[in-house]
Structure formats: structure tokens, C-alpha cells
Structure 1
Amino acid sequence: MKTNQAYLGVLVAVAVIAIWFTSLFFLLRWNFAWSNPLVYLMIFVQMHLYTGLFITAHDAMHGTISPNKTINNFIGYLSVFLYAGFFYNQLYSKHHKHHSHVHTEEDPDFAPHGFWKWYLRFMLNYVTVIQLVIMALAFNILQIWIDQKNLLLFWVLPSLLSTFQLFYFGTYLPHKGEHDNEYHSSTLQKNHLIAFFTCYFFGYHLEHHQKPGTPWWQLYKTKG
């Protein structure tokens, strides 16, 4: 990893976390009216920012945030814990198993089923009891200072919606069906704007498998 890219990787990761936190901070304090259409728009904005948190952790799993392993892994741990109380080391091993055994029985991200059965298997593979306990405790503690409706709309709902965004565009769509390449992956038709807003360029999924050392913000460059 070049020095410039190393610094830029940390800067991009910190920016994603900071934007997510700033947005959430103000949304949780927002005395909103249900009739305000901005409320529903901000749910989806926050969903996209949650997806950015997970993608940041994913970059850390591939060592693309920083050549300094301590910094790289710290950002990975922080991002995925903020996302939904996940533990980075558990996700790390499963994600690399996906890359090593893609589209096989040993692939934790693959299931030869339709969308909903596959999504359920995907979630059961990653969600743990301790994670649910952490999130339940956090919710109840935050309720002391924050209105419950704000927590549900801007903290809980966007993170849940984000799992669909990540699963559909980052797992289901690129890996469903049969493929004529060793990575068993398809790729989104070239359109960088759509690719960013759907899943931070991870619709370019074949390219990710071909060059897993490319961070999300440079993945578009691999698209021919």
C-alpha cells in the first residue's frame, strides 16, 4: 500500500464514521413531526451511512485502511461494533472463509435458496446472542436520555434496513445463480453513481473478488 493511499485510507474511514455519528447525533435529538417528509428521507440516509460503517469494517478485513495493523484493526473493530455490536474477529474469519470457499457449502455467505431463506441463513450465520444482549442493553440505556421514537426510527430501523442493502447488493445479487468465472460472481453494469448509492461500489462484485486489496473508494477504477 502506497504511503499516500495509506493516509487516505484512514482519512476516508474516519470521515465515514464521523459523518455517521454526526448525522445520528442530530437525528436522535430531533423533535420531528410525523408529517415531515424529511423524516422518511433521513431514515434512508442513515441506512446508507450504516452500510458505510460496515463497508469500512470490510475494508479493514482486507487490510486496506492502513498498513499499520493496529490502526487498521482498531478501525475495523470500532466500525463493526458501532454498526450493531458485532465482534470484528468473528466477522473477519467468516468473511475470509467466504473468499476462500466462495459458492460452496463452506461459504458462510452462500445458500442455494431464494432471497428470504438465504437472507435468514445469512443473518443467523452472523448474529449472536451476545450481540443481541449488547444491543438490547444499549437501547435501554440510551432511552434514559433519548426519546424512544427517535431511537427506533434513526438508530434501530436504519441498521436493520442496512442489512438488506448489504445482503441484496453485496451478496445475493452478485452470487445468485451460476457463473462462468472462478469467483462465482456477477457484476453490476458500469454506472458509478448507482454503484455508490446501492452499496459503495460493491455491486462491482466480481472486481472485488479479483482484487480484494482494493478499498471501496477505489473499486470503481477496477471496472472496465
Structure 2
Amino acid sequence: MGNLKKFKGICWGILLVTLWFAHLAYLLSRPFDPASPWTYLGILIQMHLYTGLFITSHDSIHGVVSVEYPVVNNAIGRFCTILFAFNNYTVLRKKHHEHHAHVNTAGDPDVHQGNFFVWWFKFMWQYVTWQQVLAMAITYNILKLWIPMWNLILFWELPAILSTLQLFIFGTYLPHRGEHTPGNKTQSRSQSRNHVWAFISCYFFGYHYEHHDQPYLPWWKLAAAKDQAENFTK
């Protein structure tokens, strides 16, 4: 059993990638029906799976998808960032480590206190590149030869955009905005303990204090860390 545990991160990564591919293939093969509520539910599910791809690449950046096999760890992380609108894993890794090292200071590439939309724009500007936009445009025009335009826009492109907003709100804006309690070295806060909502909202990354305090924990262990922190303060 102990030997199997070291493959848990790899299994989670493979599962999320498989679900992303399978659900996307299903949505792209279905006729687009704007009157069906299942259309919009499908968009939300695909958004959540996109977020799972990013969270997997994030865990890979921290080296916890596979601690024992760094090559596999980085390969899974890099693959997930490519699936997530052709993001650059090397850039993400560099800037995310800067975020942890200089959280909520001038050296933090992710935190820009102030107006929500200005902050989101600055956040996105850090990561979107012309190479990424070009790759998306080329892929879109190739896929359009076989897949209807609206299916591509609504089920491939829109969920990725919504996922960036989801990640920003629950993984950056809410945890880091405003003033933090004196002595809080993580410069972050956590949402109230509700594991169902924490998973739905952002794969437990609303428990953000726990992540910054223990960045070696993969996403599925943050709920237990939240429980431990709550019990300690009682």
C-alpha cells in the first residue's frame, strides 16, 4: 500500500486529463442546443475540468504530482499547461515560485491590490503570450474543419476563459486581497471550512493559508490540513 501511495498524484493527474478529454470530446460531438440547460451545465463542468488541469500543473510546479519521479512530475505538469490553452509551463513555474517567495510585495507577479478588474488584467498580462494566442488561433482554424464553430467557442474556448476567472477569484483575489493579520507570513487567508464548496470552487485552493503554509501538500490534502488547523484553534 505504501508503494502505491507514491503514484497517487500521477493517478489524479491522469484521471483529470482523461476526464477533460472525454468530456470535451462528448461536448464537441453533440449538436449545439442553446435552449437546453445541459448545454450550460456542460460548459460549467468543462470549466471545472480546465481548473483541474491547472491545479495539476500547479502541483507539478511544487514537485508533488510525483516526488519520486521528477521527470514524470514535470512531464504531466507541462502537458496540462499545454492543454490549458497552450500556457507556458516554464513561465508559470518561474512566476509561481516568485509569488511564494515575495507574496503580496512589489516582487509578487500575482498580487496587485486594488480594483478587481485592474488586478485581473495585470494578473492575466503576466501569463498570456503572443505565441499562446497564435497557437490557439491555429488550432481553432484546424479544428473548425471538422467541428462546428459554436461548439469550439462554447465548449473549448469559453470554459478555459471562465476557468482563469475561477482560478483568479478563488486562488488569488479572495485569499490575498486587502490587509492581513499582523504576523501572517503567508499574507493569505482561507475560506470557511466547507469541503464540498471548497472542491467545487477551486479544488480546495480556497484553503489558501494552508497552501502557503504547507506548499508541499497536493490539492487533495488541503482539506485535511484545514481540518487540522481548525481543530488546533479550538
**1:51 paired to 2:35:** no
Structure 1 unmatched runs, 5+: none
Alpha-carbon offset, residue 37 of structure 1: 1.0
Give SS of 1:126's match.
coil
Q: Does 1:122 align with 2:114?
A: no
Structure 1 residue aligned with 2:103 = 102
- State the partner residue of 1:37: 37
- Which amino acid in structure 2 is aligned with residue 17 of structure 1? V
Q: Is the 8 A contact 2:57 2:76 kept in 1?
A: yes
2: distance between equivalents of 1:147 and 1:27? 11
- The Cα of 1:4 is off from its aligned counterpart by 3.3
Q: Alpha-carbon deviation of 1:132?
A: 0.6
- What's the counterpart of residue 199 of structure 2? 196
After superposition, residues 64-83 of structure 1 pair within 5 angstroms as 64-66=64-66, 67-83=68-84
Alignment of 1:1-224 (within 5 A): 3-66=3-66, 67-180=68-181, 181-223=184-226, 224=230
Question: Aligned residues: percent identity?
Answer: 48
1:9 CA displacement = 0.8
Q: What is the identity, as a one-letter code, of the residue corresponding to 2:216?
A: G
The number of residue pairs the alignment matches comes to 223
Distance 2:5 2:77 in 1: 17
Structure 2 CA distance for aligned equivalents of residues 196 and 203 of structure 1: 9
Mapped partners of 2:123, 2:33: distance in 1: 36
How far apart, in 1, do the equivalents of 2:37 and 2:9 lie?
Answer: 35
**What one-letter code is carried by the residue in structure 2 that aligns with 1:213?**
Y
Letter of the 1:221 partner, please give it: A
In the TM superposition, what is the alpha-carbon distance from 1:6 to its structure 2 partner? 1.9
TM-score normalised by structure 2 residue count: 0.93
TM-score scaled to structure 1, two decimals? 0.98
Structure 2 distance, partners of 1:100, 1:10, is: 26
Residue pair 2:103, 2:111 contacting (<8 A) in 1 also: yes
Superposition deviation, residue 5 in structure 1: 2.9
Amino acid at match of 2:101: S
Q: Which runs of 5+ in 2 are unaligned?
A: none
Moved more, 33-42 or 150-159: 33-42
How far is the alpha carbon of 1:81 from its aligned partner? 0.6
Letter in 2 for 1:51: T
* CA deviation after TM superposition for structure 1 residue 32, in Å: 3.2
